[in-house]
Amino acid sequence: MDNQNYQMKTEIVELRIQVTGLQRTIEGLTRKVTMFEEELATKADITHVQLINKQSEIIKKSNDSKSIPMDCKVGVSLDGRVVAESIVEHTADSIKCGVIKGSEINETR
């Protein structure tokens, strides 16, 4: 009987060691799964990346294309005499304004 009790106690101790090892393994796996879930949550969605790529292609095409000037010229005259002329040039990425008074030109960007 003593021999059976000793064997049973030994087997119980071995089972406890195995269960403790399994607990540690499960805890480690749980930490890794949580870490992967957090990493996936911070990754960009593929459709969002494709949309950004498409938008950047459109912007590049717009920047690379030849700009079509849309100029506007306004003259101010008093008693039939031209006092000043204003010129506004619109391009894709800038607006250039100029005022001509006699032979004097003032430009702003």
58-80 confidence digits (pLDDT tens): 777 777 777 666 666 666 666 76
Provide the pLDDT for residue 104: 45
Instruction: Identify the bridge partners of residue 82 per DSSP, sorted by sequence position.
Output: 77
Tokens of 67: 């700009």
Among the listed residues 77, 42, 12, 4, the one whose alpha carbon sits nearest the alpha carbon of residue 86: 77
Contact status, residue 41 vs residue 63, Cβ threshold 8 Å: no
Predicted TM-score of the model (pTM):
0.37
Q: Is residue 105 helix, strand or coil? A: strand
Give whole-number Cα distances, 88 to 63, 75, 82, 104, in Å.
20, 12, 18, 16
Residue with the bigger pLDDT between 31 and 83: it is 31
Task: Using the CB atoms, write b or e for 32-63: b if 16+ within 10 Å.
Answer: eeeeeeeeeeeeeeeeeeeeeeeeeeeeeeee
- Band of pLDDT at residue 109, cut at 50, 70 and 90: very low
Sheet architecture: strand order including 95-101: 70-78, 81-90, 95-101, 104-108
Q: What is the pLDDT of residue 27?
A: 92
